[in-house]
Amino acid sequence: MKSNSLQSHPIVAIVGRPNVGKSALFNRLVGKRIAIVDKEAGITRDRLYADVEWTQHHFTLVDTGGLLFEDSDNLTHQIENQARVAIAEAEKIIFVVDVRDGITTLDKDIAAILRPVREKVILVVNKVDHDGLASDVHEFHSLGYKNMSSISGLHGLGIGDLLDLITETLHAKELEDKERPIHITIVGKPNVGKSSLVNALLKQERSIVSDVPGTTRDAIDSQLTFKDKKFLLIDTAGIKRRKKIKKAVEHFSSVRAQTSIRRADVVLLMLDGSSGITSGDLKIAAEVNKAGKSCVVLVNKWDLLEGTSQKDFKLDVQERLGFINYSPIIFTSVLENKNLEKSLNEVIKVYKESQIKITTHTLNDMIRSVMLKTPPPTVGTRPVKIYYLTQVGQAPAEFLAFVNDAGLMKDHYRQFLVNQLRKKFGFVGVPVVIRCKTSR
C-alpha cells in the first residue's frame, strides 16, 4: 500500500456509528497513522483523505468519522447526513459495525439509509480480535449484504482480504465503464449560479434553483454530450445552515466540495462578478490548487456589475488568486446564456492540455537553451547544475529535475522554469510542478 495523491481515483468511504473503529481501519488501510484513534465517540473532527494502492489498483479512502456528537437528540440526524454524503460521493462504501456490540439501533438506521445502494456496500464486522468472536459474526448476515468481511482494524487481521474485496469490485466497475466521460466539478460559494449553470448546459431543470443560498443539499451528477464529447457534471452547491446542526452542515458542505474536486478532470470555479472576489472564493481556489486540479475560472453575473472593465477584473482575479493564475478566465451570464458553449470548449482544451506528455529528449533541448540564456543562480560559491529534466506525471504536469544539490534550487528559479515550460508547451489551465532530486 502506498499513497499517490496526484491522481484522481474512485472514492471509497468508511461509514458507521461512533466508536466502531472507523479511524483505526482507515489508518490500517492507508498503512500509516493519519486519523486520530480514541475511545471517545466522535473524536475525529476533520474529513480525512488518503490514496491507497493495492495489487496495482488505486482508490481514495475517506474517513467519515468527523463529528462530535454533543447533542444526543441530533445524533441520528448527523449519522444520516454522514451516510448520505457517502451515498452521493463514493463508488464503494465500507459500513463498519462492532462485533462486540451486535446489531444496534443506529446500525439498523444506517443500513436503512444505505439500502438504495446496497450493491456498492461492503459490511465490515470489526474488532474480531480472536477466534472466540468468529461465531458472533453470523448475526450480521441478517443485515442482508452480499459483500461482508470480518476484521480487526487494530491488529490488522483480515485486512488483505478486505482490500481484495474492495479492489475486485472497483476493478469490475472500471471494466464496465470503458468510455469515461470528462469529469467537470463546478465549485463556488453558495448562490453564485452553479445549479443554474448545470440546468442551462443540460437545457432542463436537473438541479433545484433558488435565490436562497444553499438550496442544493447533495452533490449531483449529470451526464452531458457536447460536440461528441461526453461529460459528467458534478454540482457541489452549498448547504443552508440550520441552527441545531450548524457544525455538521458546515462540515459536510466542505466535505462534498473537497471530494468532488478530487473527482474532477477539470474544475469550473465560479465567481460572482457582481460582488467581486471574497474570502470564500479564496478558500475554494486554495482547495483546487491543493488538489492539483486543472481549472477554468467562470465569472458569472458579469452583466450586474457596473464601473469595472473585464480587463481590470481579470487582473484582480489573477493577482488575488495567484496560486491558480494558470487558469483561463471566461466572463459569463448564465441567465442570459452568454458564453456557456465557450466555457465547455475551454474545458475540452484544458483537458487536452492536461494529457500532454513531453519526451525527455525534447525537455532537455529546451532546458539547455533556457539555461544558456538565463543560467541558474549561484548560492554562495556553488552554482546550481541541472543535469536533466523528465516528465513523471500528468494532470497535474509533474517534472523531476536531477540537479547537483536540490537544496540550492530557489523557488523563484523553479517558477521561472515553470513559466518557460508553459511558454514552450502550453499547459493552459493545468498546474505544473517541478520537483528536484540530488544526483551526484
Euclidean distance between CA atoms 226 and 151, whole angstroms: 46
Most confidently predicted of 102-116, 177-191, 221-235: 102-116
Strand 11-15 relative to strand 397-403, pairing: unpaired
Q: Which grid coordinates belong to 320?
A: 488575488
Has domain 360-438 been given CATH number 3.30.300.20? yes
Best CATH choice for the domain 182-353 from the list 3.40.710.10, 3.40.50.300, 3.40.50.1580, 3.40.1000.10: 3.40.50.300
On the question of a common fold for 11-176 and 182-353, the answer reads: yes
Q: Which grid coordinates belong to 325?
A: 493564475
Write down the H helix ranges in 321-381: 340-354, 360-373
pTM over 0.75: no
- The Cα-based distances of 160 to 1, 113, 149, 151 in angstroms read 10, 28, 11, 10
- 212 DSSP 8-state letter: S
Contact 185, 260 (CB under 8 A): yes
The domain spans of the chain are 11-176, 182-353, 360-438
Does position 204 have pLDDT exceeding 80, yes or no?
no
Euclidean distance between CA atoms 179 and 155, whole angstroms: 40
User: How is domain 11-176 classified at the architecture level of CATH?
Assistant: 3-Layer(aba) Sandwich (3.40)
Q: Which grid coordinates belong to 168?
A: 475486485
Query: Which residue, 260, 320, 315, 240, is CA-closest to 286?
Result: 320
What does the DSSP assignment read for 62-118?
A: EE--------GGGHHHHHHHHHHHHHHH-SEEEEEEETTT-S-HHHHHHHHHHGGGG
Digit-coded pLDDT (tens) for 411-421:
999 999 999 99
Digit-coded pLDDT (tens) for 117-148:
888 999 999 999 888 888 889 999 999 898 99
Longest Cα pair distance anywhere in the chain, in angstroms?
75
